[in-house]
Amino acid sequence: MTDLSRFPITKKWPAAHPERLQLYSLPTPNGVKVAIALEEIGLAYEPHLVKFDTNDQLTPEFLSLNPNNKIPAIIDPNGPGGQPLPLFESGAILIYLADKTGQLLPKDAAKRYEAIQWLMFQMGGIGPMFGQVGFFHKFAGKDYEDKRPRDRYLAEARRLLSVVDGHLKGKAWIMGDEYGIADIATFPWINNLIGFYGARDLVGYDDFREVDRVLQAFLARPAVQRGLKIPARD
Distance CA 72, CA 57 (A): 10
Strand order in the sheet with 73-76: 45-49, 21-25, 73-76, 85-88
Distance CA 59, CA 2 (A): 25
HSE, side-chain direction, 13 A CA sphere, residue 174: 28
Supply the pTM of this predicted model. 0.97
HSE, side-chain direction, 13 A CA sphere, residue 158: 15
pLDDT value at position 85? 98
For the range 101-104, what are the long-range contacts, defined as Cβ-Cβ under 8 Å and sequence gap of 24 or more?
Answer: 101/41, 101/43, 103/40, 103/41, 104/37, 104/40, 104/41, 104/179, 104/180, 104/181, 104/184
pLDDT value at position 1? 65
Residues of the chain with pLDDT under 70: 1
153-200 pLDDT tens trace: 999 999 999 999 999 999 999 999 999 999 999 999 999 999 999 999
Q: Could you tell me the end-to-end alpha-carbon distance of the chain, in angstroms, rounded to an integer?
A: 29
